[in-house]
Amino acid sequence: MCGVVGIVSSTRCVQNIFEGLQRLEYRGYDSAGIATLFEGKIHIAKSEGKLKNLEPLLSKLPQNSGIGMGHTRWATHGAPTTLNAHPHVTDEIALIHNGIIENYRELKETLIREGVKFLSETDSEVVLHLLAKELSKGTAMLDALKGVVKQLHGAYGLGVMWKGDPNSLYIVKQGSPVVIGLGKTENYFASDALALLPLTQKIIFLNDGEIGKITASDVQVWDFSGKLLKRDPSILNWSASSADKAGFRHYMLKEIHEQPAVIANTISRLVNFGSSEINIGELGLNELDLQSVRNIIYVACGTAHYSAMIAKYCVEQMTGIPVSVELASEFRYRDPYLNQNTLVIAVTQSGETADTLACIKHAVSKGCQTYSVCNVRFSSIPRACQATLYMEAGPEVGVASTKAFTSMVLCHYLFGMAFAQEIAKGKSGNSDNNLNATDKKVASRVNFAANFEALKVLPSLVDRAINSSGLIEDVAVKYYESLNCLFLGRGPSFMVALEGALKLKEISYIHAEGYAGGELKHGPIALVDKHMPIVAIAPLDLHYEKMISNIEEVRAREGVIIGVGDINDSKLKSLSVDFIPCPQSQDSCLQTILSVVPMQFLSYFIAVKRGTDVDQPRNLAKSVTVE
């Protein structure tokens, strides 16, 4: 989605704005622009396509300017042309916008009737002219912005530069993320903190309904009624180097390789092997009333949704509490039955996904308890929830989620164990008040000792899964020209199939679908012929024999099996045209963390062979901040 950056500096700003935009590239965009203010005049440079097209135009901007704003646009209203690129300007004002103005048509028609000429097809330009109209009455900028926001419906993170106040930038937040960064002799704003990392780690996360003003030496924040607010910065714990490629060809490859360390860190942070306990404080569970929880609903999108589907298997089994999983974009528009005994859990890497955030707001309004599993500290979703389990996976820049998925699955598993642990202690639960009886029930469901053993060896198994990647490259070379691909799995491996298919289509643009093995006969088997590669995920779990039967059904129709399973599984090997070995966990939910690694590599190598843009695949955005 669109990225915004603004800087007010006592020295030069153009290069830093451009570099800020480069750090926002991961969000996905198709045009870009920068505006500066120098000696009473607004200067702009804009281009279609990627930042490499904008770079040569930077020399046309006044290099000594200390104030400016940049924008990467992910087209929603109007094609990705230079004319539609931001900033939008009048003689007096420059404006950048991330989000969607839902009532822009009505506003535009009124403005056109009043004689305003529009240069672009965007919804954003409406805001520019509304602001110009307010300012033309002699209104101060803060009051003008207060007047404009009253007229807007939708989501917006706005940056505004104005000749009438040449040393300040104004920022408005409603629905779309905007942060303010505090420097020593300059201040910044951006759509996310990652853009500002090398410049500052002191960040003020604006809330919806807030207006900010930055100068080189000062920051002020008001609410939409004009009340001045006291906002202290948070200090980020991400280093600037955690956002670079560290010598890898792509962010995605780097992030795949980071998984053993992320998994090991999460386990050492959340698990106390000495006392065989999960650190429930670190999980934020002390802030929930677990005692009253009678059902759990996960809401999420994309990869996060698939991770939550794995949570259904492990959390429900461990806690004995019914778990359902919903796509955030569906949940928010139906009228789900919710009450104060429902715990709604948002799963999100970015913490900014608009649909997931809307679900949490809805759940809060219904009196539910709310919790999130999230990677980005201080982002909007954790701030809207009662408690959060932070994944601490470090920035994920590649649009295709990798380390966030495995980290989410581990977090769900540990959440389930922690909840079960609390039930066993009699501190929560949905059953009886008799401690011994409760204890027994949990003990019959959860083999804590086995779970701790499985967790202990997990990081080294993930490491092994990563070290088998050479073989996968050979498989990719064989299949990279395929037009379609199916992925099959059963039990928790069904979600690995879904995730494998999503990864492949996202970055290689090959049509791919994931199915539960048992569903094959109910339709998809009609697609199987000798041209159809079928990735069969068949770990040695209780679904193994059933998966083997599904594989036989595919073979009977000449389908091409790429088996993924235990290195010593001679049966699977003999049934596969190609075989990818994968380490095995004793736990079928933790196995998904291992089985998904070959899916990540397969899609990565296929995409590289096809020459697609691995980190910023076409049409996709990292942070989906509009519906």
State the residues that interact with ligand M6R by CB under 6 A.
301-304, 348-350, 353, 356, 399-401, 502, 506, 624
We find the least distance from the C-beta atom of residue 60 to ligand M6R, in angstroms, to be 35
Q: How far is the CB of 357 from ligand M6R (least distance, A)?
A: 9
Nearer to ligand M6R, 85 or 328 (CB): 328
Contact 218, 187 (CB under 8 A): yes
Residue with smaller CB distance to ligand M6R, 236 or 532: 236
In the complex, least distance from residue 588 CB atom to ligand M6R, rounded to whole angstroms: 23
302 or 394: whose CB is closer to ligand M6R? 302
Answer for the pair 348, 370: CB distance below 8 angstroms, yes or no: no
Half-sphere exposure of 357 (CA within 13 A, CB side): 23
**Between 75 and 620, whose beta carbon lies closer to ligand M6R?**
620
Quote the CA–CA distance of 159 and 396 in Å, as a whole number: 25
Catalytic residue among 146, 312, 505, 622: 622
Which residue of the chain is nearest ligand M6R when measured via CB? 302
Shortest Cβ 117–ligand M6R spacing (Å): 37
**Which residues have C-beta within 8 Å of that of residue 458, sequence separation ≥ 6?**
263, 267, 410, 585, 590, 593
Out of 2, 368, 385, 582, pick the active-site residue.
2
501 to each of 303, 328, 495, 536, 539, how far by Cα in Å? Answer: 11, 20, 10, 12, 18
Between residues 186 and 506, which has the closer beta carbon with respect to ligand M6R?
A: 506
Phi, psi angle pair for 602, to nearest 5°: -60, -50
Contact between residue 66 and residue 10 where contact means Cβ atoms under 8 Å apart: yes
The overall longest dimension of the chain from CA atoms, in Å, is 80
For 267-385, where are the E strands, in sequence order?
A: 271-272, 277-278, 295-300, 323-327, 342-348, 369-374
Distance of closest approach, residue 139 Cβ to ligand M6R, in angstroms: 38
CB closer to ligand M6R, 388 vs 428: 388
Report, in Å, the least distance between residue 452 CB and ligand M6R.
28
Paired tokens of 474? 């050979």
CB of 231 vs ligand M6R, minimal distance in Å: 25
Provide the β-strand partners of residue 534. 486, 561
Return the residue matching tokens 């928790």. 492
Min. distance of Cβ 376 from ligand M6R in angstroms? 8
Taking the least distance from each CB to ligand M6R, the nearer of 183 and 302 is 302
Q: What distance in Å separates the CA atoms of residue 352 and residue 381, rounded to the nearest whole number?
A: 6
CB of 454 within 8 A of CB of 587?
yes
**Do 125 and 137 touch, CB atoms closer than 8 A?**
no
Task: Tell me the C-alpha distance between 381 and 391, whole Å.
Answer: 14
238 token code pair: 């991400």
Q: Is 96 helix (H, G, I), strand (E, B) or coil?
A: strand
CA 375 to chain centre: 8
Q: How far is the CB of 347 from ligand M6R (least distance, A)?
A: 7
Query: If you write DSSP's letter for every residue of 449-512 in order, what string do you get?
Result: HHHHHHHHHHHHHHHHHHHTHHHHHHHHHHHTT-SEEEEEE-TTHHHHHHHHHHHHHHHH--EE
Looking up tokens 């796509």 gives: 327
Instruction: Please identify, using beta-carbon distances, which residue of 104 and 306 lies nearer to ligand M6R.
Output: 306
Q: Which is nearer to ligand M6R, 170 or 605 (CB)?
A: 605
Q: Which one, 157 or 302, has the nearer CB to ligand M6R?
A: 302
As given in the structure block, the two tokens for residue 74 are 């992910």
Q: In what order do the strands lie in the sheet with 169-174?
A: 88-89, 93-101, 154-162, 169-174, 210-214, 219-223, 228-229
Cβ of residue 242: shortest distance to ligand M6R, in angstroms? 17
Strand order in the sheet with 369-374: 323-327, 295-300, 342-348, 369-374, 387-390
Q: Measured from the CB of residue 489, what is the shortest distance to ligand M6R in angstroms?
A: 17
- Smaller CB separation from ligand M6R, 45 or 301: 301
Q: Is 622 a catalytic residue?
A: yes
Report the C-alpha gap between 70 and 43 in whole angstroms.
Answer: 12
Cβ atoms of 405 and 499 within 8 Å: the answer is yes
Give the amino acid at 624.
V
d(CA 157, CA 617): 24
Residues taking part in catalysis = 2, 622
